[in-house]
Structure 1
């Protein structure tokens, strides 16, 4: 018996182990009844513990042997004998967050349908950032309208109820989408806002799902994928982002909503400095080129080491070794592999084709500045 379908707010239950086995994936039990929700319909599985006189085992994962009506299998971290009486307790914090995601998804899917005629074809609720996949490509304005409509449904505090109907009775109910199961079908109604077939756990009222925040959308498999957060997780996300914006605003001596201006100015300054830095690097390479051509083993600043090596490739076919004070090096020319082997004796590591690059211990740089290495 799936107790979670009768009361999704219950957290403890008594049961008997009717099947138990172990395999390469771990230890498994089937109980006479359970509150543990098995992963299904995009909603993650519950976790928790099973207790009895032998102690307790953790419930690591829960799944169905057959969709909707098969046995619910609990994967646990230790063996339990068949016939044992156990007390189960679910991780309520995890369950409640899953219910907030799931109810919010029903509300948002209905809002998307009403705002833009967008049809939900798949959902994923396995992380705080959940997704709804739509058959159609969305428009930004319609998506904003759907988000507002979803939160109006939250504020309306609609009662939520689950009930069973026969397959023959389904035609009487205006479902948002056709059910994926046959026989007795469980429906979840959110006031007069939404009605859908669903076997998952849900909240008691729509108000408990809020707030619902759409984060972004992207084109996906000919349609769209909408990313959203809900409930406590949406508030936690807001808190983290607000705290970050407040710290950044403080560092710029402005308010969070005015951050864009100083950040844009900083970007412009960085772009200007990058351009100036590039010009200076090019000038330094040109200034060092004659000396490098003459000495062939040269200590150079690390930022221009690679560029100077490229310039030398186009100027001479001799062997050169460039080193930076930090220990970076570049060897090029016909004797570059021999140079690398001699540098390895000093603890160097590196490789490459036209230009052999790598590093050696900083304290060995002076020893590597030996003109005989390239003779």
Structure 2
């Protein structure tokens, strides 16, 4: 068994140990030591990282009762003792976030009886899942206020190992998920919780808690938040974004919502005008193409080719033309550097013509795929052969 020095003190940064084992599994090369300050992944908290004999430790996992330290490369086999150093900034960040989670979860439980049923300590934010259907801003604000009050009071944080019987005498916030020896993390008169994570000695070291937002997650509400140094980092990032927006929108920060709303309103008006202008242009284009149509077997036939024309534009154009010429047939083609797109439309009066059937015959010529119905079909494929051949093939089918 490896002695878990991180339980003796979460503040220990360096240590020396004896190598008990060096091996490899599906996750890579690892070593097992007689003692370690490296916390392994568990209980929603990621593992520590750092160095062992200047070799980078990428992750630490507890597997089959062993604490495995995964290395970037194998150590020499004659190495029997080793010096280690954890990434302290990562360790302390995890201490702040995990303890902040305890405090925030306890605040929700204390004020409203909300139970925390999930916890994840991510790289950028922390989440808890509350067993509720909805959360109001008012209640979220109240929970944050109480949590920050507990932090500011600089209450002591105690850890102790107890038996299951002893644990039953404490007002635990949630049911224990382990048996045997139980490690309790206690904020007196506020939170009593079974936990194997790393925590500071005083609540003031958490510095503060800020909720970022929340969302529905299956049957629960997932609350996202940050603690301590992450609040400062988040503030700096958001402040930089706000400064850039203020420059772009030519408005002071306090007027950014109003400036952004005005910009969106103008953009919506512009988009609407563009749609209307585009509709007018398509109507004009459809009229021009109708006038240039030829007659094939007493049926108006319109053909036009384009370069890089969106297929939606061609579909709309084809509909407009056959709406005017109920006995007409429209064949539109758009070509790009490496492909060809086709749109075929048949007027409602042509009961013996099926646009989908006609188009499928053309698509076989260009190794293409597509679909549609009796009046409108579309598809695309390779630039095999000439467009003129496709036009002639349609004309022969019309005759």
User: Do both proteins adopt the same fold according to a TM-score greater than 0.5, normalized to the shorter chain?
Assistant: yes
1:321 and 2:316 are equivalent in the alignment = no
CA shift for structure 1 position 358: 7.6
Counterparts in 2 of 1:65-84, with a 5 A limit? 65-66=63-64, 70-80=65-75, 81=77, 84=80
SS at match of 1:111: helix
1:374 and 2:391 are equivalent in the alignment = yes
**Which residue does 1:363 correspond to in 2?**
none
Residue 254 to residue 290, structure 1, CA distance change in 2 (3 Å): closer
1:296 and 2:313 are equivalent in the alignment = no
Identify which of 119, 124, 135 aligns with 1:123: 119
SS at match of 2:55: strand
**Which residue does 1:226 correspond to in 2?**
223
CA shift for structure 1 position 340: 7.2
Asked if 1 retains the 8 angstrom alpha-carbon contact of 2:335 and 2:341, the reply is no
CA shift for structure 1 position 86: 0.6
**Which residue does 1:6 correspond to in 2?**
8
CA shift for structure 1 position 206: 1.5
CA shift for structure 1 position 113: 0.8
Distance 2:370 2:145 in 1: 57
Q: Aligned-residue CA RMSD in angstroms?
A: 3.1
CA shift for structure 1 position 50: 1.1
CA shift for structure 1 position 167: 2.3
Counterparts in 2 of 1:94-113, with a 5 A limit? 94-113=90-109
Distance 1:185 1:301 in 2: 68
Q: TM-score, normalised by structure 1?
A: 0.84
After superposition, what is the alpha-carbon deviation per residue over 1:29-76, rounded to whole angstroms, capped at 9, x for unaligned?
21100111111000001111211xxxx43212211125xxx3212122
Q: Which runs of 5+ in 1 are unaligned?
A: 361-367
Residue 222 to residue 337, structure 1, CA distance change in 2 (3 Å): closer
Residue 309 to residue 229, structure 1, CA distance change in 2 (3 Å): farther
Distance 2:149 2:93 in 1: 20
Question: In terms of mean alpha carbon deviation, does 165-174 or 117-126 score higher?
Answer: 165-174
1:25 and 2:36 are equivalent in the alignment = no
**Which residue does 1:114 correspond to in 2?**
110
1:86 and 2:82 are equivalent in the alignment = yes
Question: Whose radius of gyration is greater, 1 or 2?
Answer: 2
Residue 183 to residue 323, structure 1, CA distance change in 2 (3 Å): closer
Distance 1:243 1:8 in 2: 34
Q: TM-score, normalised by structure 2?
A: 0.79
Distance 1:325 1:188 in 2: 66
**Which residue does 2:317 correspond to in 1?**
308
After superposition, what is the alpha-carbon deviation per residue over 1:191-238, rounded to whole angstroms, capped at 9, x for unaligned?
543221111111232222232111122223322211111121222112
Identify which of 275, 278, 296 aligns with 2:275: 278
Identify which of 348, 352, 360 aligns with 2:370: 352
Distance 2:287 2:337 in 1: 23
SS at match of 1:259: helix
Higher relative contact order (CA 8 A, sep 6+): 1
CA shift for structure 1 position 182: 2.1
